[in-house]
Chain A
């Protein structure tokens, strides 16, 4: 299941995009300091009013003479950190609560399932906004915790359903009669079966985290000393980049957000093609080729047929 998932072209494109950003997040700030020899805070007094991309500032400068590329490289780190941290937290909650509810059954399941439903019905962003806004200058750790703590419900439902079906199967029943502990059965025996569900879920949570953080930062929530894509767009907007036409300031961070979103859409489409083979675009293509190849030799008889009628 997992290997089939990874073999789909769309999934590979999605993974490649996320991988590329992860790499940038790891190496970007180092590159900025040592190769570009710039940091986001550093001001270039020759470009105080914001200049278009040139050989020193590859992506131009902001209205305060700060290097946009340097901002992007550092911003990628914050954005991806929030994405990964919130995804780890969210996935952890998803697995623990989902698997626990599915495996325990009875009262515990009813309670946990109720919790899952309540969280699943919250308008996520509204809740996120009030909670994050309550803490002034919330840093990335806090933002990640809040995002991860709110975004787990959808996945937990799936895990719960999966675990419930696994619980009924012979091998788990056998293990329970042998006297294996519940935690061990969940971790060692059930979890591997759930990897196919969990991995795309994790990818989805990364992108959701990145986007939620960007939206929050865009609204001015978060720590202004942590450069992020959302913060860049917020500053560009509040400092009249639109009026002054400093497009190089707000286009790169938005494009990065688009790419992250695009990556998840690709992964989800790939996932759909596995669970519902009629959606497989590969099959559609094969079918088209088959019909076309078949049509060619058949056409003379077709024409004869038409002529006789």
Chain B
């Protein structure tokens, strides 16, 4: 029923847990007992393949970003120049006009030349200027918002991962017990809640109805952003608490499931049975023999999930009116501010690909079968 995945010593379930691509061309597939030399090469070859793949994806998303406005109804470039003129009281300079047209379509210039302009600006880190806050560069807006989003995304993902993985290891060690019978269905339901809706419930109940938490912002607005001020940190923690809790509740369950199922499979492996036969203390069998191996797929999943986590954060930020890129994005969407929308989305895509690549590297590092040299 499942694909004929390579059965490596991690057990068959590794293939179901490892992200799809990796089971096809993962570093260990097809090589049951690689020599040290070839295994080291296998790891590098694998990483090079993955990198090529991500570069193609990155290029494809740039291409999509370039092509889309040219298919949009109406003429977005003219529209945008009009928007900017209305907002600032003066039309943008000739150079600016040319750049806008290069980005969003210029009937008078060959498409390839426009693409060249577009790409060369992009490579220099120029995402254009916001039409909504003209002439603030998109990169500056993203730069202001990104730290908050990364804070939410990274902290919530790591905490959710730790909670889920720990619980999953506990449940999978003794599946079918009472704790498992309660926690697994409960987290099944948690994992089905859309983050933005749970955020809405939490904000409504804890912020609006009871006033225990602030209903918007990332820190108390009467404070300056001052990294030497402990009050600033406290305020940021206080304001970030609800979004974090929301994201953790929605996010921990998937780690719980994958760890639980991986653990159940691993516990049935011969090497865990042998550890049991050896009479080792139970917690050593669980932690060193079973969980250590069951953890591998969850570990790579962690970095791999960061892209998805960014999406959840973007949606949740909207609810909590949190000044990250999610709020930036919804604001831009309402004002039809294409440069910002495109810039944010390109950024999200690049970040996801970067995290994916980190995940692949971590996998190569964690599994001695792809790394060890003797």
Contacts and interface: CB of A to CB of B under 8 A. Distances in A.
Are any A and B Cβ atoms less than 8 Å apart in their complex?
yes
B349 A265 contact: no
22 contacts: A121-B353, A122-B61, A123-B311, A126-B307, A126-B310, A126-B311, A130-B64, A130-B341, A136-B73, A136-B336, A158-B3, A165-B4, A218-B196, A218-B318, A233-B196, A237-B319, A250-B204, A257-B197, A258-B189, A258-B193, A276-B16, A278-B264
Given A126-B311, A276-B16, A287-B176, A215 B61 contact: no
B358 interface: no
Interface of B: 1-4, 12-13, 16, 20-21, 24, 53-54, 56-57, 60-61, 64-65, 68-69, 71-73, 175-176, 188-189, 191-194, 196-198, 200-201, 203-204, 208-209, 215, 257, 261, 264-265, 268, 307-308, 310-311, 315, 318-319, 329-330, 333-334, 336, 341-342, 345, 348-349, 352-353, 356
A287 B203 CA distance: 44
Residue from the set A197, A220, A279 with the largest chain B CB neighbour count within 10 Å: A279
Query: At the interface, is chain A mostly helix, strand, loop or mixed?
Result: helix
Contact of B3 (A161, A251, A260): A161
Interface in A208-248: 211, 214-215, 218-221, 233, 236-237, 242-243, 245, 247
Interface of A: 1, 114, 117-118, 120-123, 125-127, 129-131, 133-136, 154, 157-158, 161-162, 165, 196-197, 211, 214-215, 218-221, 233, 236-237, 242-243, 245, 247, 250-251, 253-254, 257-262, 264-266, 269, 272, 274-276, 278-279, 281, 284-285, 287-288
Given A123-B348, A219-B318, A279-B261, A135 B73 contact: yes
B315 A219 contact: yes
Contacts of A1: 1
A28 B281 CA distance: 60
A275 to B, nearest CB: 5
A237 B13 CA distance: 42
Contacts of A287: 176
Given A127-B61, A220-B334, A272 B208 contact: no
Nearest to B57: A121
Contact of A126 (B21, B24, B265, B348): B348
Given A130-B342, A134-B71, A265-B191, A219 B330 contact: yes
B192 A258 contact: yes
Contact of A257 (B57, B194, B201): B194
A219 B333 contact: yes
A121 B356 contact: yes
Contacts, number: 173
List of 10 A-B pairs having minimum Cβ-Cβ separation, nearest first: A261-B192, A284-B176, A161-B3, A254-B197, A123-B352, A262-B192, A125-B311, A123-B307, A126-B348, A134-B68
A242 B205 CA distance: 9
A56 to B, nearest CB: 25
Given A157-B20, A165-B4, A135 B72 contact: yes
Given A221-B333, A258-B193, 6 more contacts: A117-B53, A121-B57, A130-B65, A215-B315, A237-B318, A265-B192
Given A245-B208, A279-B261, A215 B203 contact: no
A126 B352 contact: yes
B201 A220 contact: no
A242 B13 contact: no
A197 B1 contact: yes
Contacts of A122: 57, 60-61, 349
Contact of B16 (A117, A120, A262, A275): A275
A214 B194 CA distance: 9
Contacts of B198: 254
A287 B180 CA distance: 15
Given A196-B1, A242-B208, A269 B188 contact: yes
A265 B307 contact: no
B21 A121 contact: yes
A185 B249 CA distance: 48
Nearest to A153: B20
A157 B4 CA distance: 11
Contacts of A130: 64-65, 68, 341-342, 345
A251 B261 CA distance: 32
B36 to A, nearest CB: 29
B191 to A, nearest CB: 6
Given A221-B333, A254-B197, A276-B12, A118 B60 contact: yes
A276 B268 CA distance: 12
A275 B348 CA distance: 35
A134 B69 contact: yes
Contacts of B200: 233, 236-237, 242, 250, 254
B21 A245 contact: no
A221 B197 CA distance: 17
